[in-house]
A and B are shown apart, each in its own frame.
Chain A
Amino acid sequence: MKKVALNAAGLLVALFAAFPVYWMVATSLKPNREIFSATPRPVPAKPTLEHYREILTGNLIPGVTFADFFLNSALVAVATVLLSGLVALLAATAVARFRFRLRTTFLILLLVVQMIPLEALVIPLFLMIQRLGLYNTLPSLILTYLGFSLPFAVWMLRGFVAAVPKELEEAAAIDGASRAQTFRKVLFPLVAPGLVATSIFSFITAWNELIFALTFISDQHKYTLPVAMTFFFGRDDTAWGSVMAASTLFTLPVIVFFLLVQRRMVSGLVAGAVKG
Chain B
Amino acid sequence: MSLLTKSPGEAAARETPARRRRRVDRLPYLLLLPCLAIIAVLLLWPLGQVVMMSFYKLDSVRQLRGDREWPWIGLGNYAQILGDPFFRTVLRNTVLFAAANVALTMILGTLVGLLLNRLGRKMATFVASCVMLAWATPALTGTIVWKWIFDDTSGLVTWLFNKLPDGLSSTLFGRSDWTGYGWFNDPLLFFAILTLVVVWHSFPFIAVSVLAGLKSVPSELQEAARVDGAGPWRVFWSVTFPMLRPVFGILVVLSTIWDFKVFTQQFVLAGGTQDRSTFMLSIYSYAEAFSPPPKYGLGSAIAVILTLILLVVTALYVRMVLRQEDES
Residues on A facing B (Cβ under 8 Å): 3, 6-7, 9-11, 13-18, 20-21, 23-24, 27, 35-40, 87-88, 90-91, 93-95, 97-100, 102-103, 106, 108-109, 111-113, 115-117, 119-128, 130-131, 143-144, 146-148, 150-151, 154, 166, 169-170, 173-181, 183, 204, 207-208, 210-211, 215, 226, 229-230, 233-236, 238, 240, 243-244, 247-248, 250-251, 254-255, 258-259, 262, 265-267, 269-276
Contact = CB atoms under 8 A, between A and B. Distances in A.
Contact of B61 (A95, A130, A148): A130
B31 A21 contact: no
Nearest to B263: A119
B12 A17 contact: no
Residue among B11, B43, B44, B112 with the highest chain A CB neighbour number at 10 A: B43
B212 A121 contact: no
B325 interface: yes
Given A262-B136, A274-B216, A147 B42 contact: yes
Contacts of A111: 317-318, 321
A91 B151 CA distance: 48
Contact of B200 (A16, A115, A148): A16
Interface of B: 1, 4-9, 11-12, 15-17, 20-21, 25, 27-29, 31-32, 34-36, 38-39, 41-47, 49-50, 53, 61, 64-66, 112, 115-116, 118-120, 123-124, 126-127, 130-142, 144-146, 148-149, 151, 153-154, 156, 159, 200, 204-205, 208-209, 212-213, 215-216, 246-247, 249-251, 254, 257, 260-261, 263-264, 267-268, 271, 282, 285-286, 289-290, 296, 299-300, 303-304, 306-307, 310, 313-314, 317-318, 320-322, 324-325, 327-328
A250 B32 CA distance: 35
Contacts of B120: 3, 7
A208 B144 CA distance: 13
A163 B212 CA distance: 20
A144 B42 contact: yes
A176 B144 contact: no
B78 to A, nearest CB: 15
A211 B246 CA distance: 33
Residue among B137, B154, B257, B267 with the highest chain A CB neighbour number at 10 A: B137
A36 to B, nearest CB: 5
Contacts of A265: 205
